Amino acid sequence: MTEQGFFTEADSAEVVISRNAAAKDARLAEVMAVLIRHLHAAVKEIEPTEEEWLKAILFLSETGHMCSDWRQEFILLSDILGVSMLVDAINNRKPKGASESTVLGPFHVADAPELPMGANICLDQKGQPMRVHGRILDTEGNPIPGAKIDVWQANDEGFYDVQQKGIQPDFNLRGVFRTGADGSYHFRGVKPKFYPIPDDGPVGKLLRQLGRHPYRPAHLHYIIEAPGFDRLVTHIFDPDDPYIRSDAVFGVKESLMARFTPMTDPASGFEGEFLDLQFDFVLSRS
C-alpha cells in the first residue's frame, strides 16, 4: 500500500480490506476480510495467466446460469469441494459418543406422513426388502422416548420419489416415526442404490476434468429430534458400496456405517430373505 492507499501487488489484500472500513455490518466486514486475504493469497500462489483468470470467470458465470428453481449448481460446487461438509461439521460439533452429522441434501420433504412403527415405507414393492431397526439413546446410553425420526431414501435404482413423480408413488420411501418408552425404532424399506449427483452442468464437467465420478454411495437419510436434545441430521451408509470411499460430496464418516445383513425371520413381516440393518443413534443434550 502506498501512503495514499493506492494499489500495490505486495499489499493488494490490505489495500482492498482497508477500503471496507465503513462497512455497515461488522460481521460482513470480518467475513470479507478473511475472504479477501485468502483469495489474494491464492491468486499469488497460483499466478494465473489472464486466460486462466477469464476461464475462472466464465466457469462461475456458467455455474450461475445453471442455477434455477430446480437446480442449485453452486451448492453442487460447494459439495464437491468439501465445503458443504465442512460447514456442516463446524455447525454440528458433537460431544464424544454422540452420533455424527452429515449433509442434509436436497431431497428432504417437510410433509412426509407419520407412520406406525414397523410400517413399510416402500410403496411399490420394488427392490430388495430391508428391515431397519435400532434405538435412540442419550450419551449415557439411556433410551429417548418420544423422539421423532424422519427417514428418507433412494429406491433400488438410485432415485428419490421427488425425482420420479408419476413413476414412484408420492411419499415412496419416506416416513416419520416416533419412539416409545424403550427408545427403539423399526421400519421396513428396500436396499437403496448409489446414485450420481446432477453432472450435466459445469460442476459435472469439473468432476470429469479432475478424474472424479459423480456418485454418492448408497445411504439412508435421517433427521432425529427430541425435546432437550440437539437435532441430528445424518445418513447411514452401506460399507460394501462400490463408492463408499469416494462419495462425490464427502458425506461419509467412519462412524456412520451400517452393515446390510441377509436374514430370514417370520416376525419381520417379510416372507423370505431380507436385509437386516441395525443402527443406534445417540443424541447430544442441547
Stretch that binds a second copy, among 26-34, 178-186, 258-266, 274-282 (CB under 8 A): 26-34
Question: Least distance in Å: CB of 8 to a second copy?
Answer: 8
Helix (H, G, I), strand (E, B) or coil at 10: coil
Using CB under 8 A, which of 26, 50, 116, 262 touches a second copy? 50
| Contact status: 1 vs a second copy (CB under 8 A) | no
Binding mask 73-112 for a second copy (x = CB under 8 A): xxx--x--xxxxxxxxxxx-x-------------------
Stretch that binds a second copy, among 22-30, 168-176, 214-222, 259-267 (CB under 8 A): 22-30
State the Cα–Cα distance between residues 207 and 147, nearest whole angstrom.
39
State the Cα–Cα distance between residues 74 and 51, nearest whole angstrom.
22
| Contact status: 250 vs a second copy (CB under 8 A) | yes
Stretch that binds a second copy, among 68-76, 155-163, 182-190, 263-271 (CB under 8 A): 68-76
Grid coordinates in use for 282? 445417540
Grid coordinates in use for 285? 443434550
For 11, 74, 181, 269, 286, the CA distances from 201, given in Å and listed in that order, are: 37, 11, 48, 43, 40
Stretch that binds a second copy, among 13-21, 139-147, 177-185, 267-275 (CB under 8 A): 13-21
Question: Least distance in Å: CB of 59 to a second copy?
Answer: 9
For 14, 21, 206, the CA distances from 2, given in Å and listed in that order, are: 11, 17, 39
Phi (first) and psi of residue 104, to 5 degrees: -70, -45
